[in-house]
Amino acid sequence: MPKVTQEYMEARREQILDAARRCFLRDGFHSTSMQDLFAESGLSAGAVYRHFASKNEMITAIVEENMRDVLAMAHSVAKDRPSSSIGDLMADVIDIVRVKTADQNIAGLSVLAWSESLRNPLLAEQFADLMKQMRSALTDVIREHQRNGRLTRTVSAEAIAATLMCTLPGYILQLAMGDTESLEGVPDALRALWPDMAAS
């Protein structure tokens, strides 16, 4: 039997997740069965279960993929772009969400995942961990800005990070509802609301 390459395994995994995204967006989590996922992916039950033991694992994988780029952006700013303003960081995050929504409708999937997490303790725990990672990365960036005098120290970095994190779900919800026209100016507004204090 020929050896299965890592590239092949990754391609099959992505094929399954693409099928899951389509099914979840079309029918919701509860109405989507594993049989639906087998049929949508065009793979056998064994091939799907080789990668995911349940729908919950697929949901978690999709949420993790959605947040990976956002986390990477926050870490990148902390490491490679420390002089970028907080407004620039948030605008970049918004741009990632917009692009990925156009490509994979992550806004719609995020709203579905949030609602599912209200009844699924395991998913809620995993979702909370991902949000904690993102809040931590953002807090690190804010602390660096405070040390450099680019952001006020009168409020804790944690509180500022939590406040900025509150803006993201509102944007995602409006995007999921198809309200793209009124959201066009959001990145510029974020830059204006949280400018680089050192440059102002």
Please tell us whether the domain made up of 56-199 is placed in CATH 1.10.357.10: yes
Tokens 């693409």 correspond to what residue? 18
Asked whether 78 and 137 are in contact (CB, 8 A), the reply is yes
The percent of the chain in helix, strand and coil, each rounded to the nearest 5, is: 80, 0, 20
Give the pTM.
Answer: 0.80
Q: What pLDDT score was predicted for residue 1?
A: 46
What are the pLDDT digits (tens) for 53-103? 998 889 888 878 877 777 776 677 666 666 678 888 889 888 888 988 998
Q: What pLDDT score was predicted for residue 189?
A: 94
Q: Give the span between the Cα atoms of 175 and 59, in whole angstroms.
A: 20
Q: What pLDDT score was predicted for residue 147?
A: 87
Give me the residue spans of the domains in the chain.
1-53, 56-199
Q: What pLDDT score was predicted for residue 74?
A: 67
**1-53 and 56-199 in the same fold:** no
1-53, what's its fold?
Answer: Arc Repressor Mutant, subunit A (1.10.10)
Q: What pLDDT score was predicted for residue 2?
A: 57
**Ranges of residues in the chain whose predicted pLDDT is under 50:** 1, 199-200
Q: What pLDDT score was predicted for residue 41?
A: 96
Q: Give the span between the Cα atoms of 12 and 46, in whole angstroms.
A: 12
Asked whether 172 and 111 are in contact (CB, 8 A), the reply is yes
Q: What pLDDT score was predicted for residue 121?
A: 87
